[in-house]
Amino acid sequence: MYEQLIHINERPLPFSVYTADTLWTDPHIARQMLKAHLNPDTDSASRRPAFIEASVNWLQSRFNIGPGTRLADFGCGPGLYSTRLAQLGAQVTGIDFSENSLRYAKETAVSHHLAIDYIHTNYLNYQSEKRFDLILLIYCDFCALSPVQRQQLLGIFRNHLADGGAIVLDVHSLVDFARFEEGVSYGRNQYGNFWTDEDYFSFINQFKYETERVTLDKYTLFTATRTFEIYNWLQHFDQASLTAEFAASGLAITDWYANVAGEPFDPQSPTIAVVATKS
């Protein structure tokens, strides 16, 4: 017990454990995530419908999206963006490793008579002959990846960009980082049945890594039959660190915004969104 408590409360090295696949693909958690994506009153998995509408409108006008636009939506989830972008006439490829979210996305495409190419894979392994005019990675997914994974993903983006194509993604800023506070809590069924239908006890440990600008929400869950851990890492960025990561992958950031709805860049914003091209 003592050893276990040491492990639970010990500060792990940044990005030393990757559990995003469990978070998004464990069958029970994936069902809860889909509910969260589709709940118009929460921003917990996707942003709310009004923001998504504003975002799609901005993307359409900024990139002149229409018939013929080849678009990839990395981490498309249940297709809240992919559906709307395909309705504008774009040829959309949606990539995600959540089978449950993709099932919903595919059913939506069928019911709206949209020919969206949904690919079930880890996007860190995505390889295709296709080239895209626009590559999206929306809702700060970039921040959940380790430095090595981020370089890997930017390399994949670069390889799949058509000449003149652009990447749009958003990240958490240092404003968001400053708000984060370390803490620990313990309780029974703290998140209701979000993690499992079984009765459970959980520890939530929040760690802040000042030098690396990384935060971690770590969940340790104990049911009668199993123990599991979820590590939610988030890298936070300023313009310099984001510029450097893109440059290391042969990409140049051409435009800065406060978010993926195209609001002007604001140093007080908790998010930063960028448009990048091959350099």
98/220 with CB nearer ligand SAM: 98
Query: Minimal distance in Å, beta carbon 224 to ligand SAM?
Result: 28
In sequence order, the 6+-apart residues with CB closer than 8 A to the CB of 117 are: 91, 92, 93, 94
In whole angstroms, the minimum distance from the beta carbon of 98 to ligand SAM comes to: 4
- Give me the DSSP letters along 79-138: THHHHHHHHTT-EEEEEES-HHHHHHHHHHHHHTT---EEEES-GGG---S--EEEEEE-
The smaller minimum CB distance to ligand SAM, of residues 62 and 120, is found at 120
Closer residue to ligand SAM (CB): 203 or 274:
274
Q: Closest approach of Cβ 149 to ligand SAM, in Å? A: 8
Tell me how far, at minimum, the Cβ of 103 lies from ligand SAM, in Å: 12
**What's the min distance (Å) between Cβ of 89 and ligand SAM?**
20
Question: What per-residue string of b and e applies to 203-232 under the rule 16 or more CB within 10 Å gives b?
Answer: bbbebbbeeebbbbebbbbbeeeeebbbbe
- Which residue ranges make up the site for ligand SAM (CB under 6 A)? 20, 24, 45-46, 75-77, 80-81, 96-98, 101, 122-124, 138-139, 141
Name the residue number minimizing CB distance to ligand SAM.
75
Q: Which is nearer to ligand SAM, 72 or 221 (CB)?
A: 72
In the complex, least distance from residue 237 CB atom to ligand SAM, rounded to whole angstroms: 17
DSSP 57: H
Structure tokens at 27: 């069958």
Indicate the Cα dihedral angle 84, 45, 127, 133, nearest 10°. 40
Instruction: Return the number of the residue (83 or 205) whose C-beta is nearest ligand SAM.
Output: 83
241: buried, middle or exposed (CB in 10 Å: 19+, 13-18, 0-12)?
middle
Q: Which is nearer to ligand SAM, 118 or 246 (CB)?
A: 118
Our CB check for ligand SAM shows the closer of 195 and 203 to be: 195
Nearest distance, CB of residue 221 and ligand SAM, angstroms = 19
Which residues are CB-neighbours of 108 under 8 A, at least 6 positions away?
Answer: 78, 79, 83, 114
Cα Rg of the chain (Å, integer): 19
Alpha carbons 248 and 193: distance in angstroms, whole number: 42
